[in-house]
Amino acid sequence: MPKKITLPGLVDVHTHLREPGATQKEDFETGTKAAAAGGYTVILDMPNNPIPTVSPQALDQKIALATGRIYCDLGFHFGATKDSTKHFNLLKNKIFGLKVYMNHTTGDLLLEDGHILEEVFSRWPKGKIIMVHAEGETLIKAINFAGKFKSRLHVCHIATKQEIELIKKAKKQGLDISCEVSCHHLFLTEEDAKSLGPFGKVRPPLATEEDRKSLWDNLDSIDMIASDHAPHTKEEKNGPNPPNGVPGLETSLPLLLTAVSEGRLTIEKLIELTNENPRRIFNIPDQPDTFIEVEFTKPYILNPIPLFTKCHWTPFEGMEVRGRVKRVILRGQIVFEDGKISGPFGKVIFPS
Mean pLDDT in consecutive groups of 10 residues from the start of the chain, 352 residues: 91 98 98 98 97 97 98 98 95 97 81 91 96 95 96 98 98 97 98 98 98 98 98 97 97 97 96 98 98 93 93 97 96 97 98 94
pTM: 0.97
What's the confidence (pLDDT) of residue 257? 97
The Cβ of residue 69 has, within 10 Å, a number of other Cβ atoms equal to 16
What's the confidence (pLDDT) of residue 205? 97
What's the confidence (pLDDT) of residue 62? 98
288 alpha-carbon distance from chain centroid = 23
What's the confidence (pLDDT) of residue 305? 85
Show the DSSP H helices in 23-80 as ranges: 28-37, 56-66
Q: Nearest Cα to 124, choosing from 162, 164, 77?
A: 77
Q: Are 129 and 283 in contact (CB under 8 A)?
A: no
What the chain holds in terms of domains, given with CATH numbers, is 4-341 (3.20.20.140)
CA distance 28 to 49: 13
